[in-house]
Structure 1
């Protein structure tokens, strides 16, 4: 298990990606959006679904699910802990 502290400045986001491990996120401060693909296991992930995230929320991203985290706030950092089941390998 690894735990990462991630901070996203206002308007920033991760690239669209997936991992070969499960991820659990705990939002420490700020707000944003989690984009999660509706069909993550095909060659083309399909249209992502948007889920609001905010301080004290927790969410899980299953193995190989395509996702993106975005700070949609215009003035506050989005800070979260990412707990991964094992160091990810790019797939």
Structure 2
């Protein structure tokens, strides 16, 4: 495997995992799988709505580009969500 990105994508993935596991009571393997899919598929706007302290447009995003930013899927690449696996019962 490769090194784990220590940034927004990891924080979002594990915040979503925690919601699914501890609050929605999915088993850990299912919670991780669903969190990975959500991290991969959710738009920046969806991530910002759920985790506003973690995901927000940066100062480099111009006012005219906010719609483009909102619809982008910043963590679509496997690099951001695939390094994590659940091992255990």
Fold similarity call, TM over 0.5: no
Relative to the length of structure 1, the TM-score reads 0.25
Q: TM-score, normalised by structure 2?
A: 0.25
Name the structure with the higher helix share: 2
Greater RCO, 1 or 2 (C-alpha within 8 Å, sep 6+): 1
Rg (Cα) greater in structure: 2
Higher strand share: 1
